[in-house]
Amino acid sequence: MNLLGWVIFLLALTFSVTLHEAGHFVMAKKFGMKATRFFVGFGPTVWSTWRGETEYGVKALPFGGFVKIIGMHSLDDPDDPEDEPRSFRQQPGWQRIIVLCAGSFMHFVLAFVLVAGLVLTIGIENDNTTQLGTIATCVAPTVADLNNQTCGSSKQPSPAVLAGLRVGDTITSFNGKPVSNWTQLSNAIKGAAPGSAVTMTVLRDDHTLTLRTKAAKVRGRSGGYIGIVPTTAFQVASPLGAVTYAGSFFGQQLSGTARTIGALPSSIPKLFNKSQSATNGQVTSMVGVAEVTGQAVAADVGWRIKVEFIVLLIAAINIFVGVFNLLPLLPLDGGHVAAIVWERIRAWFARLRGRPDPGLVDMRKLVPVMFSIFMILVFFGVLVMLANIINPVSLGQ
């Protein structure tokens, strides 16, 4: 099952990167630029075919894809001088910026579609409900026993058992106060003094019941204890609700990505901590994400929970990659966008001074900058991978 998780992640990675390159490719074609190659994967060519002026194909290593647009990233002149007018570098600045940003845009579209589709079909996990999914059989002596879901040496039946509560019951009020979600019910239970009598209104099979019991005490835990856990329900949304949820998810991930990128320098000393978790915002690599995907597939939970976790994880990764790729750093797409913006600003100043347009930014002069940043990114990527291998990432602590 862990191997299946790795396969799922690699397929998702390949699809995401291919979609990224497709964004560049489609917009370049739209603006009349010449694109000579579009391949899925890297390495030796397994299959290819020509359609017009473009060669489409599949490479042996399914780790992404690439597109070749004349004059886009190469510093060399095109093989055929007649292609120069259709090269990337000869097009208006706004068209080049759109082509460069189209890759990240496709990551954002994929993330939005994945989340909206998940909500429309499977639904989103919701445990903030008053419907009961677990009834504890005893009163755990300590919080440690409670967290481990064991009775320890206790023989005392839980208040839930004494009250006659059953899995599937929905509690609608507690001590006379209406409750509509687990947050309200949990706060009401904690507010009940241990040993005090409590009354619950319960909906069971379309019948309303009134059940009574006494709140118990768990050593190390404040407030009362009943011995109930809410069920996990999946709520399918309407099309409008799906769009709203996807938009909210997108906004949360954008802010989270900004915090993660901002914290990258300070995260380096923490990379080799033994408690690496995928749920606490720590930086991880493809190795770590693949490992977590494998854990999710192998977890002893329902298939809906597995699908939800993997889909949301893939969506979050696409948002992160899309944002990171737009950073104004060469050789990232955002760095090339910044160069074009500077080129246009420089041309504007030249016009104000009555001088000719200085033309394109000389990328040859920026090669040392590109190489330095590239090496930093590679070093950091290898460091994170090494940390994930030494201390494998877990779903949570």
Give one word for 390, left, alpha or beta, with left for phi > 0 and alpha for psi -120 to 50. alpha
Catalytic sites, residue numbers:
21
pLDDT of 14 reads 87
DSSP at 193: P
Structure tokens at 11: 């397929």
pLDDT of 82 reads 84
pLDDT of 393 reads 65
Question: What distance in Å separates the CA atoms of residue 397 and residue 45, rounded to the nearest whole number?
Answer: 44
Which one, of 147, 151, 175, lies nearest residue 161 by Cα?
A: 151
The correct CATH number of 132-231 out of 3.10.20.30, 3.10.580.10, 3.40.1190.20, 2.30.42.10 is 2.30.42.10
Residue 157, preceding peptide bond in cis (omega within 30° of 0): no
Q: Which residues of the chain carry a pLDDT beneath 70? A: 1-2, 73-79, 148-149, 152, 270-283, 300, 391-397
pLDDT in tens, 156-188: 899 999 999 999 999 999 999 999 999 999 999
pLDDT of 67 reads 92
CB 103 within 8 A of CB 325: yes
Indicate where the chain has its CATH 2.30.42.10 domain(s): 132-231
Structure tokens at 47: 């299959």
**Residue 357: its H or E element:** none
pLDDT of 375 reads 86
CA 5 to chain centre: 16
pLDDT in tens, 294-310: 877 877 677 888 888 89
SS3 145: helix
Structure tokens at 343: 């080129």
pLDDT of 314 reads 93
CA 265 to chain centre: 21
Question: What distance in Å separates the CA atoms of residue 356 and residue 189, rounded to the nearest whole number?
Answer: 76
Cα 212 to Cα 59, 91, 123, 163: the distances in Å are 68, 77, 35, 6
Which one, of 212, 131, 223, 225, lies nearest residue 172 by Cα?
A: 131
Question: What distance in Å separates the CA atoms of residue 242 and residue 252, rounded to the nearest whole number?
Answer: 15
